[in-house]
Chain A
């Protein structure tokens, strides 16, 4: 009993890693891993390219159809490629036992959430940008519009937030790869819907006052989902 009392307590003696530093460390770890293995980003990009090709003959995207449906094609592809990445990013942590190590680390649990979210967001945003390039080349529709970049950033932020939370839930379930889309798509509807509507309006060059409500709704949805994910993540990873 005495011996225990006399021993230093490492948990309290050592200062906690500052929040921002922990977030960055985790995100950079994921990026470095990806840079060496390129497991995730290759799969996501190949999937995105294939999806766009399949859409192009499934929807027979002629010049008129492009204007109205290219934003939908773009977002559906980004969302599904994103889910591919979300599944892998959390499953890899769990299967290699790294999730337990992360949970034991003396950092805020929410730092783990934001670290994982940041790397997921980065991959998703990168896929989105490369996909824009591909669509611009293949369909002769320029997607590089400043407002569209804002919408894409907002959309991927909301989707990555709730996606990271739900992927860390489904990783503990029996049918995880199957379950993630079923859980994620309905909850992220406000994000997807407003992102698609905003992008379609921007691409068809409608006046700004006609569509500005959608990015605003998107921003509100992002903030709500981020706050919820931040609060709920602690309960998901406890144990």
Chain B
């Protein structure tokens, strides 16, 4: 930079002189940093802003420092100083020191975190010098602004151009341009957020205003999120031992349960007994040998359904037989025709009655919704106003609602009237909670509700093994009987199924099995030293070991999300302008904004979070980067290449 110092000075005296010269640069920068600190105290005092609230003024302070240097350049002595090593070297080391401090002290944390991390004295120093927000503080801004001024001065001085110097000038110019672009971006740039669920659209985004409060700004177009997709890596599970004594669990050892390292597991007192990548409970069914004891053995039928696994159904010869749901149809299974008929008659009787039974004292009153009955032993009457199969209070409106169409929590709202027809009481009765608060008191006293209605309606067919035949139901009654042929398809409504096996007696046990080699539902059975029974480990149920250790079955590699993709469309008015996918590393640029994929929520799979950035300095920064790179490569390599060529040409000439 400074031509006067570009030649190596005589060693001994030069070092002393240079040391003195460098120290003045350090003193200047130190003083200016402190000036920045004082200024920041004043500004934060005047604006009553918190420590972080003064950030927006830092750019202005940096610009001022830059302008001061440029103004100083009017004076030849200062111009020489700012473009010399006497300024550049202290500047580089000061920036280094400040940067290092900025990584050693917690940045941008709350007062509470700072207070818990540092002692009172240290905290006073940190706060006093704004070291907890180093890179947005006035002190750092001044040093950086001075640096930019120095870089500009180097260019302004236009020294005699050598090959290396031209590259160096280009590199300096690149840095100034980059800083200018960044400055532009931080003053006029806008940054904000858009949060959408799939199917939603917005014309605005939220961004923090100068006072730090969020405000809505118009995008100038409509952005709709058509679809959001989270792509995951194929899971590959590992059985891993963790040390959970510390704040953060520490991985001690891990092995692939499909090809376990048994020595490694033995080191932790573990033995892997079995592993099922896609675990399910498998029925193992066989017929007892001829002449063997059959009492107490269930009857069994194997049912097949197109596109589904075969299912066993068992009749243990109790009143209700075996039950199974297949292809949306509810099926009962009885071996004996007699028991099946009795069951069918029972259902028919119950379903012919109204579904609601109110028990008043010793009387059972069957009634439909809207039907009125006289309460026995009084001149009061009772009416069911409405009935819900699955009562729930809607949390927002606090009104009763039906949660599902299954009778999970049947309830009726009843009204009791006197002889004149005047309402004297009303309230809800719950079949499953006869003692529910308030229930059965006052005029509703002694009333209970029994739900019986859906029983008949919940059966679609009965398989009778003895005959064998299928009794098909409609409206709670047997509507037709179809003979069953083993291996031949029959229809229950639209569902077609095949009875594959029908045994009067069967030996049945349940075994663990795997549906496939894909790790969809992995389970490991592990023997743990010192425990009698082996334990099953699944991703949902880790096992606590002794000595603050835990055994976990989890996907390897930690990171499971491969990508998150938002398919978005841009509209101008009602006209769709474009439609494309935004993903991490591939933002959408439209209408002066770049929209980045920023967030997803595992618990909210249709949610997608975007960052919206408008950066008027973008291309200036890119230009600066290119200039700087070109300059650095020029200065680093070209002079030596030329020198070598020159030397080669010289020696060639000598020959």
Partners in one complex: no
**B residues in contact (CB < 8 Å) with A:** none
**A residues in contact (CB < 8 Å) with B:** none
